[in-house]
Homo-oligomer: A and B are copies of this chain.
Amino acid sequence: MDHFADRLFEAVKEKGSPVCVGIDPVLERLPLSLQKGDAVDGITQFTQGVLHAVAEHVPCVKFQSACFERYHWRGVEAYHRLIHEAKQLGLIVIADAKRGDIGISAAHYAAGCLSDIDLGDGETLLGPDALTINSYLGGDSIEPFIEVAASQGKGLFVLVRTSNPGGDQLQALALAEGGQVVDQVAGMVAKLGESHLGEGGLSLLGSVVGATKVADAARLRAMMPQQIFLVPGFGAQGGSADDVKVCFCADGTGAIITASRSVLYPFDPADENWTQAVAAAALDLNQQIATVLG
């Protein structure tokens, strides 16, 4: 099973959950014991704790690249090594780096962000399974990413409708021909992805659609029947479980619900058994989503 979409929904089926835990380690929110020493060591240990706590409960994790790039190349090395560790735990890994550029630069980003890393001496770090990318530069900025992803059996999630209030400023603009900007982006993504389908009928080219934009989600689902929706904004950002239901396809596949803060930081910072709270929060999220999907 080499296609990203097939691998992803096989993992969803195995775990019985379409939940993705966002790995967004922020130093000031870590358990106190991990805030004291070197910052990169702290976020590394925290991430390892989270990965081991959630690996048996969820199919998928999403690494927020910014949290690691904050610490320059040491952070970037930790990021790649932790992605490898997550892969070894059997998790599907999405790199949330929101890259966007044109031509050879887009191809460089795709290779750098998705490919396995040869460390020499026969050692290889596994790259992530998918990458988030930005749509503002248009279709020819997305094609180099598709080329790399397709050649490696990997996936992409294009920012279509973001969960933040400011996303409306550009994405919700009304067009002269009818509809909104986001509809044109959705059409572009649907078109670009249609020749890259897995056996389950879903494309390697997915979409980010915020759970806080429920009014748009049903329309976008109809416009992008072959796109996997990566749905942020559930929980801390205000999206409800009912809001996310419309993001799924009729067969119950087609969407991954991602949550970061509500799963990462459910503990008292002084509590040394914080990983138990993280595991419980992941299970609680699973339960909330399962209830909605019925």
A interface vs B, CB < 8 Å?
Answer: 24, 26, 64, 66-67, 69-77, 80, 98-106, 108-109, 111-113, 117, 134-141, 159, 162-171, 173-177, 181, 184-185, 188
Pairwise interchain contact A169-B74, C-beta atoms closer than 8 A: no
Contacts of A99 in B (CB 8 A): 66, 98
Q: Tell me the minimal C-beta distance from A198 to chain B in angstroms.
A: 26
Residues of B within 8 A of A77 (CB): 72-73
In the assembled complex, how far is the CB of residue A28 from the closest CB belonging to chain B, in whole angstroms? 9
Q: Which 4 A-B pairs have the closest CB atoms?
A: A138-B166, A140-B166, A73-B77, A138-B169
On whether the beta carbons of A138 and B112 are closer than 8 Å, the reply is: no
Roughly how many angstroms separate A64 CA and B102 CA in the complex, as a whole number?
11
CA distance A188 to B172 in the complex (A): 14
Is A174 touching B177 in the complex (CB atoms < 8 A)?
Answer: yes
Beta-carbon contact of B137 and A166 below 8 Å: yes
Centre residue among A80, A99, A165 by max chain B CB count within 10 A:
A99
Q: Are A112 and B66 in contact (CB under 8 A)?
A: yes
Query: Measured between alpha carbons, how far is A185 from B166 in the docked complex, in Å?
Result: 12
Decide: A117 and B164 in contact? CB cutoff 8 A: no
- Whether B80 and A72, one on each chain, are in contact in the complex, defined by CB atoms closer than 8 angstroms, is yes
> CB-nearest residue of chain B relative to A143?
B166
Max chain B Cβ within 10 angstroms of own Cβ: one of A24, A105, A135: A105
Chain B residue nearest to A138 in the complex (CB): B166
A18–chain B nearest beta-carbon distance, Å: 23
Across the interface, A184 reaches (CB within 8 A) one of B98, B100, B169, namely B169
Instruction: Work out how many copies of this chain go into the complex.
Output: 2
Q: How far is the CA of A102 from the CA of B237 in the complex (A)?
A: 12
Contact B175–A106 (Cβ < 8 Å): no
Complex Cα distance, B141 from A66, in Å, reads 13
Question: Across the interface, do A66 and B136 meet the contact criterion of CB distance under 8 Å?
Answer: no
Q: Is the CB of A66 within 8 A of B108?
A: yes
- B170 x A138 contact (CB < 8 A): yes
**A165-B181 CB under 8 A given contacts A72-B80, A100-B100, A134-B100:** no
Q: State whether B80 touches A168 (Cβ < 8 A).
A: no
Q: Is the CB of A117 within 8 A of B181?
A: no
18 contacts between A and B (CB under 8 A): A24-B105, A64-B101, A66-B106, A70-B109, A70-B112, A73-B73, A73-B76, A100-B134, A103-B164, A134-B134, A138-B164, A138-B166, A138-B167, A140-B166, A141-B166, A170-B185, A174-B175, A174-B177
- How many Å lie between the Cα of A251 and that of B125 in the bound state? 53
Whether the pair A66, B176 counts as a contact (CB closer than 8 A) is no
